[in-house]
Amino acid sequence: MMKEFDLEKRTTKFAKAVIRLCKRLPRNPINNRLVGQVVGAAGSVGANYREANDALGKKDFIQRMKIARREAKESLHWLELILESERDRESEIKSLIKEAGELKKILSSIIAKSQ
């Protein structure tokens, strides 16, 4: 989906893409719940990455990066459930699933190199 190196921009782009998808989903009790969850998780990836960059030390940095990674994993989970609910949007949702997975791998790599 996105092959950008600036991770702050890339995480924001991811969250915006999730928001755009969610705005187009039909409203029903299932989607309403899934949308709230995935928008929160997707937005938290970038928010926590930014907090990590302003960390007060190595331990704080690693902890905040782990939170960002956890939010990426959570985004993956909710996107997979949205895919189940909205099969007609499969290609768009799968590209977001791919990006969430790539962000998780990048964050894992940064954490591993920082420890």
Whether 93 is in a domain gets the answer: yes
Whether 106 is in a domain gets the answer: yes
List the structure tokens of 4.
């950008």
Whether 79 is in a domain gets the answer: yes
CB-based contact 103:72 (threshold 8 Å): yes
Of the candidates 14, 16, 18, 20, the residue with the CA atom closest to the CA atom of residue 2: 14
Q: In this structure, which amino acid lies at residue 90?
A: E
Whether 29 is in a domain gets the answer: yes
Whether 97 is in a domain gets the answer: yes
pLDDT in tens, 18-49: 999 999 999 999 999 999 999 999 999 999 99
Whether 73 is in a domain gets the answer: yes
CB-based contact 78:34 (threshold 8 Å): yes
Q: pTM of the entire structure?
A: 0.92
How sure is the predictor about 5, in pLDDT bands with cuts at 50, 70 and 90? low
Percent of residues in the chain assigned helix, strand, coil, to nearest 5: 85, 0, 15
**What CATH code is carried by the domain that includes residue 63?**
1.20.1440.60
Whether 2 is in a domain gets the answer: no
Whether 1 is in a domain gets the answer: no
pLDDT in tens, 59-105: 999 999 999 999 999 999 999 999 999 999 999 999 999 999 999 99
Structural domain harbouring 81: 7-114
As for how many domains the chain has, the answer is 1
The b/e string for 44-71 (b: 16+ C-beta within 10 A; e otherwise) is bbbbbbebbeeeeeeeebbebbebbbbb
pLDDT in tens, 7-18: 999 999 999 999
